Amino acid sequence: MKLSPADFPKRKAEHSIISMVTCYDYTMACLVNQTNIDCVLVGDSLANVMHGEENTIPATVDLMALHTRAVHRGLPDKFLVADMPFLSTRLGLYRGTKAAGKLIAAGADSVKIEGADGNLELISHLVESGIPVMGHLGLTPQFFHAMGGYKVQGRTEEAKSKLINDAVAMEKAGCFAIVAECVPADVATAMSRVVSVPVIGIGGGSAVDGQVLVLHDLLGLSSFKPKFVRHFMNGADLVKNALNEYDECCKNHTFPAAEETFTK
């Protein structure tokens, strides 16, 4: 059964782990829809994965809406979250609400917002307006310039305290779940203990309430493999081997075969 925002805290209370993956296109969405995965994120990582950008900054609201609409068409049975892209939350309540509304209209069931500082008012406003919000703390890729790159967050006591306090603030603002990215396991665990909503880790250890990975990473379709990623299959070799077999069959005239050829 498809989850609702109210189900996320219930799943945490039941100690039922939430599985989440990214997805960016209709074909993959159709496949994910046939699995046991609980939740899908149209992440602004699509800028990297689908468009070859160096970071997530080039993702726009229009681009996010385009991919969200495609995923929505193939994903009727899964809860769908769409990322609010770079600066879309920083241009005032009106523009932030308009951007979130565009993603919901494209088929998202909720939006995800990176960072607590400067975003709590918008989060509360969106929730009060009927738009569910998932929070995101720790390594927030939209802030990688300010962070000095992609680095593990929460390594000092001060930084750990801030992450815990931000998690509490996000829950109070109305977030139904919070992603914790690239933080020490004890920090992610501490974040989970102080909130009643699930903390979903990506590089946050196993003692949290759920996990999220980029689909292309877990399928081994990319050479990108940071410490927190596991390749659950060697997708790159499978694809290359299939293409090479197709090439060979074309060139030795074994494709198309008689049964693959029209005669009339």
Instruction: Express each pLDDT in 177-220 by its tens digit.
Output: 999 999 999 999 999 999 999 999 999 999 999 999 999 999 99
- How far is residue 13 from each of residues 17, 56, 81, 165, measured CA to CA in Å? 10, 33, 21, 21
Burial class (CB in 10 A: 0-12, 13-18, 19+), 90: middle
Please say whether the beta carbons of 84 and 65 come within 8 A: no
Residue 149 pLDDT exceeds 80:
no
Query: What is the spatial distance between Cα 257 and Cα 264, in angstroms, rounded to a whole number?
Result: 15
What is the value of pTM for the model shown? 0.95
Residue 226 has a pLDDT of 86
Residue 1 has a pLDDT of 87
Residue 144 has a pLDDT of 65
Residue numbers annotated as active site:
181
Please say whether the beta carbons of 55 and 144 come within 8 A: yes
Residue 256 pLDDT exceeds 70:
yes
- How far is residue 54 from each of residues 24, 47, 59, 161, measured CA to CA in Å? 17, 8, 11, 31
Q: Which of 16, 105, 38, 27 is nearest to 68 (CA)?
A: 105
Alpha-carbon dihedral sign for residues 259, 260, 261, 262: positive
Residue 131 pLDDT exceeds 90:
yes
